[in-house]
Structure 1
């Protein structure tokens, strides 16, 4: 669907709900996923059309991710998606992140929602990142996904 059409429909909902805030993805779509990039474009335009004052862009701390990928270097043969070069332009540098939210108490729900994405856990010649995350022990999973990061983007005011 074209950005303007989707954004217009979403803006109608935002106005109806008198929303003060909208969440979307960062401009890179996190790791560059085309659907996530489209969500970013639609959310940004919808917030602008509706006059929703705050857009929170979901992201990850790129600096933290790069440190983890360097530590995971011995696993790269098993999980090629752990190559740090894949993420040099992904997500957001730590200095630009405005919100860090501790979501560790929701780890079970988060794991269940990730597991529901069956199409994202298999395929290809290597272990998919989501499958690798889901295979982690609870404590390691909680440590890795227990924080959510956002960049607050002011939009037009009402």
Structure 2
């Protein structure tokens, strides 16, 4: 049995990027650990918050339930505040993740790595797929934490296959899918770069088609984020599977072309 640690910026990021791999690893008997850098304080605020309950409270509870359903053995929090989207005034908050000294944040993560001793560590690609400040920070912090760790785990970075997303986007446009209007993976995202990574630069494609049904159940745990989550859950299972049946990763230090395979 191996241990694999996934690091995410906010609760619910895991269900769009790596949940299939998390579920598959747990099903195969590996120990799965997830680390959230922030509590997602600046996400969508649901109408049913209880008196005294904050959005951070709700999202932590949702993440815990999602982890249980996915078979995750450990959930950790780095303890930083959500920085909000690029250009928001929350980017400048003293406790925002993007304001945390990189050495300090990396030391917090390195301490968790030392405790959990993962064989595989998973962060984000260099621009966090679409330039969200906290996603970019995850990339930087995971890279630095890995350098502080001995023995160093194999390091992968979750990304989106831009070529595959482009094909799906064009197919959705041709089918007249309303959600496809206004979206283009090749247009500049929050940081001025297109979405994800070209397939030619990706090292690993993971088949998680057998985990699609469970993934939908895990995604539904993050019900507070209505706009994003309900739009995915509204898709017919066939369409949902077309989007989420594979996940893509860069292996740091590898120059290999993309292979269909697994971490272990």
User: What's the TM-score once normalised by structure 1's chain length?
Assistant: 0.80
Corresponding residue number in structure 2 for 1:106: 211
Whether the aligned pair in 2 keeps the contact of 1:27 and 1:40 (CA below 8 Å) is yes
Q: Deviation digits for residues 100-143 of structure 1, max 9, x if unmatched?
A: 11111111221122222334332xxxxx4x43321111122112
Q: Could you tell me how far 1:20 is from its partner in structure 2?
A: 2.8
Structure of greater relative contact order (alpha carbons < 8 Å, 6+ residues apart)? 1
Corresponding residue number in structure 2 for 1:54: 154
Secondary structure of the residue aligned to 1:31 is: coil
| 1:95 is the counterpart of 2:200 | yes
Q: Deviation digits for residues 47-66 of structure 1, max 9, x if unmatched?
A: 11114242110011111111
Q: Distance in 1 between matches of 2:247 and 2:131?
A: 18
Corresponding residue number in structure 1 for 2:172: 72
Q: Which has the larger displacement, 16-25 or 137-146?
A: 16-25
* Residues 92 and 116 of structure 1, relative CA distance in 2, 3 Å threshold: same
| Residue from 125, 142, 147 that aligns with 2:241 | 142
Q: Distance in 1 between matches of 2:170 and 2:188?
A: 12
Q: Distance in 1 between matches of 2:141 and 2:179?
A: 36
Secondary structure of the residue aligned to 2:235 is: coil
Q: Gapped runs of 5+ residues in structure 1?
A: 123-127
Task: Say what the alpha-carbon RMSD is for the aligned residues.
Answer: 2.4
Whether the aligned pair in 2 keeps the contact of 1:28 and 1:90 (CA below 8 Å) is no
Structure (1/2) with the larger helix percentage:
1
* Residues 49 and 19 of structure 1, relative CA distance in 2, 3 Å threshold: same
* Residues 65 and 134 of structure 1, relative CA distance in 2, 3 Å threshold: same
Q: Gapped runs of 5+ residues in structure 2?
A: 1-96, 255-264
Q: Distance in 1 between matches of 2:236 and 2:214?
A: 15
The count of corresponding residues between Structure 1 and Structure 2 is 149
